[in-house]
Structures are given as C-alpha cells and as structure tokens.
C-alpha cells in the first residue's frame, strides 16, 4: 500500500501484519519509511462489515513498541547451510470526524466515501481518484495524518469489523502523486497468522528449520494481543513492479 493525499518523494520498507481476531474482526499493523515535503495523510481502505458505522474501528497505540517489525523479522532469519546437520450524509452541517491520538500521529475513521467531506481537505484524495477505484465504493477508511520530512514511523495498528469471515485483507493498492497506475513498485514484507496462507509464504522458523512460535521473537506484552503467542507467523516478500492491487489470503 500507500494511498497518500498529496505527493510523496519516496516510500519504502513497507511492513504489514494481519490476523483474524474473530469471524467478524481483523487486526492490521502497518509501518513504512517515507519522505514528504508537506503534511499529508495516508489512507487505508478497509472491507468493513456492511452497515458498520463510526464504531467499526479501534485504533491501537504501538508507540511503546517501535521495533515490532524488526522483532517480527527475527522469526525469519536465513537458515544455516544444509551441510550443518541438526533436528453518514454530506453537507456543511455534518459533524467532523473523531480524531484519535495514536502515539506520534493522529488517526480518523471515515465510515464511507461520502464522509470524507468531514475531514480537512489536505487529508482527502481527489474525487477523480475514487472514480478509478470502484472496488472501494462501500469500504471504510482509516486515515493517518503524517508530518512532513523523512520519517520512519512507529507501527500503526487497528482492529476493524470485517465483512470477510474467511479471508484476511492486506491494503496494498498504491496511489502516489495523484494517480492510480496499473502497475506499481512494491517493496513490502507481508506477515500474517492464518491456518495456511499458501505455498508462497514462509513459516517462522529457527536457523535449523524448526517451526518457531511468535512468543520466541515478539514481545507479547508490548504487542498488545495483536498476535497469538503460541502460533507461528507466515511471511511473504513482495518486491518489484507488480499489478497495483490489494492482497487477500485465507484467514
């Protein structure tokens, strides 16, 4: 992902973690490094439950765990050589959306496209962009207000009411500099806890190749129950120019 409300100079090192917390809810953790000349917003489209309103999202403060994804990567260290054996409604009167203080940034939940009018204009995408993204017509949107400069932000985390009981959603569509291109340059590490996301996903493991549970490389307390400590984590690296679309896996 990155959908930005105004131009960015660079975005890299994107990390996303997802997990089902119930058949009707999913957690999502997101981090990246970016460069921007002005204050802007990053927008995450979410497949909210149909009819869900302004209480469909809970923002989670991970400012005390800035190394969440650094620790996550520790579960996927390169194996040792095999030679070493081992075993709302539009209108001027509409109330503004609630602003949440989430660590070092502010976040808002936009329940529907029509509610973007309730946000400061600096943090909206142009109407023409949404016309190119019809898949989001009935989605909701988490909006994170970011500062100008070159930043590596602490992980942004949330739990939302999802319409998909059997699938996990990764928001990976790119909107940079006011355009939606058919292909985009990816530099993403995707992580999840799932029954089995597919053959293209690696399983967290020791350097000897034995399965490694999340509690062995994640600070479970600081992670605020975002992971199941006694299950493995799966990882997929997505790098290079690829179709500009979101990722889904079995939940």
Instruction: Tell me what pLDDT residue 3 has.
Output: 86
Q: Measured between alpha carbons, how far is 234 from 154 in angstroms, rounded to an integer?
A: 21
The pLDDT of 229-235, averaged and rounded, is: 97
Task: Report the alpha-carbon distance of residue 191 to residue 202 in Å, rounded.
Answer: 9
- Concatenate the DSSP letters of all residues of 46-76 into one string: E-BPTT--TTSEEEEE-TT-TTHHHHHHGGG
pTM above 0.75, yes or no: yes
Structural domains of the chain, with CATH: 2-250 (2.60.250)
pLDDT of residue 83: 39
3-state secondary structure at position 121 = helix
Q: What is the average pLDDT across 132-156?
A: 87
40-58: pLDDT as tens digits:
888 999 999 988 878 899 9
User: What pLDDT, in 10s, does the model give residues 181-230?
Assistant: 899 889 999 999 998 899 999 999 998 889 999 999 999 999 999 999 99
Average pLDDT over residues 236-240: 94
Percentage of the residues of the chain whose pLDDT score is greater than 90: 57
**Per-residue confidence band for 148, with pLDDT thresholds at 50, 70 and 90:** confident
């Amino acid at each position: 992902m990155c959908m930005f409300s105004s131009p960015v100079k660079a975005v890299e090192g994107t990390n996303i973690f997802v997990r089902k917390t119930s058949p009707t809810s999913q957690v999502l953790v997101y981090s990246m490094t970016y460069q921007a000349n002005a204050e802007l917003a990053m927008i995450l489209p979410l497949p909210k439950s149909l009819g869900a309103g302004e209480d469909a999202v809970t923002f989670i403060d991970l400012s005390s765990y800035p190394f969440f994804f650094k620790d996550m990567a520790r579960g996927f260290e390169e194996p040792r050589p095999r030679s070493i054996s081992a075993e709302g409604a539009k209108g001027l009167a509409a109330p503004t959306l609630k602003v949440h203080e989430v660590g070092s940034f502010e976040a808002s939940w936009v329940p529907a496209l029509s509610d973007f009018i309730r946000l400061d204009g600096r943090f909206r995408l142009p109407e023409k962009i949404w016309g190119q993204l019809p898949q989001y017509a009935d989605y909701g949107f988490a909006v994170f207000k970011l500062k100008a400069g070159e930043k590596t932000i602490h992980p942004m985390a949330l739990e939302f009411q999802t319409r998909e009981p059997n699938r996990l959603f990764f928001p990976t569509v790119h909107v940079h500099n006011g355009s939606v291109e058919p292909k985009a340059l990816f530099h993403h590490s995707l992580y999840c806890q799932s029954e089995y996301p597919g053959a293209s996903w690696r399983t967290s493991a020791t350097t000897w190749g034995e399965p490694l549970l999340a509690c062995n490389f994640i600070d479970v307390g600081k992670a605020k129950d975002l992971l199941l400590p006694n299950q493995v984590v799966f990882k997929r690296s997505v790098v290079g120019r690829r179709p500009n679309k979101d990722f889904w896996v079995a939940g």
